[in-house]
Chains A and B, each alone.
Chain A
């Protein structure tokens, strides 16, 4: 094994092993170890790993996987940050999940069962039970959806009688439905019902659709201008 120090010009130099450059010092005092494995850009005060042209203060580049990988010594635990297709991906093997902390306290967490938790004034992180579908629609005149989430359509099945069709089906039929509807001037009580309305309260929910309705005290369906539905699971 031969280690040599070379200064081929007055402004550059290198350390060689068996005649090949291992460390190169460039004219601006930038240092290149193993052709970009580690690079110190002296002109711009930047460090690159996997690149000899770091674009930021600390630039890690792995063009083969587009991922920055951090491994434990035994390689069984990992934290990877990278690109998956056009998506940014944060992946970890940590069995207790992921925690984002503020001043040492958990603010947001994903536990080992993939439950998403957050504090947001609750006092501690707790499971967030998400609204999986919602819709606000006009049930009068030209029935129309004002806005919605995870709802592909509503089915107008009669006066005050609707079906909410989910874009992505629920995992089962054990979801909870809440809703409201606008009252009608000069009319008696208008109520919101799910799984069928007052006149036909026996519609069975499915994973792809739930029946909702607006009905009067008499049980008859009524059309109202504002019907809002939210589904939790």
Chain B
């Protein structure tokens, strides 16, 4: 199960958090939800998505938005 965490930056672009498999394996408490609580900036709304939902063509990466 390969997940990503997506949130919107202050300038409207989106940020995508890529988890470290080492960190996830360190403890049963290190879940994708715990990672979001730790690494998403405070106050930001975030979404946990499957990696397959993230485009692999990054040609227009800076124009990506969350819908």
Interface residues of A (CB under 8 A from B): 135, 137, 140-145, 147-149, 151-159, 163, 165, 167, 209, 221, 223
Contact = CB atoms under 8 A, between A and B. Distances in A.
Given A157-B15, A167-B23, A152 B38 contact: yes
Nearest to A147: B22
Contacts of B16: 143, 155-156
Nearest to B38: A152
Nearest to B64: A158
A152 B58 contact: no
Given A151-B22, A167-B20, 8 more contacts: A135-B20, A145-B19, A148-B20, A148-B23, A152-B23, A156-B15, A156-B18, A223-B58
Contacts, number: 70
B65 to A, nearest CB: 12
A154 B5 CA distance: 11
Contacts of A148: 20, 22-23
A142 B38 contact: no
Contact of A155 (B15, B51, B54, B62): B15
Interface string B6-25: 00010001011111111100
A145 B9 contact: no
Contacts of A209: 39
A140 B13 CA distance: 18
A140 B54 CA distance: 12
Please indicate which of the listed interface residues A140, A144, A165, A221 has the most CB atoms of chain B within 10 Å of its own CB.
A165
B26 to A, nearest CB: 8
A51 to B, nearest CB: 37
A154 B54 CA distance: 15
A138 B48 CA distance: 21
B61 interface: yes
10 contacts: A141-B56, A152-B19, A152-B20, A152-B38, A154-B17, A154-B18, A157-B9, A158-B13, A159-B61, A167-B20
A155 B39 contact: yes
Given A141-B56, A141-B58, A158-B61, A152 B35 contact: yes
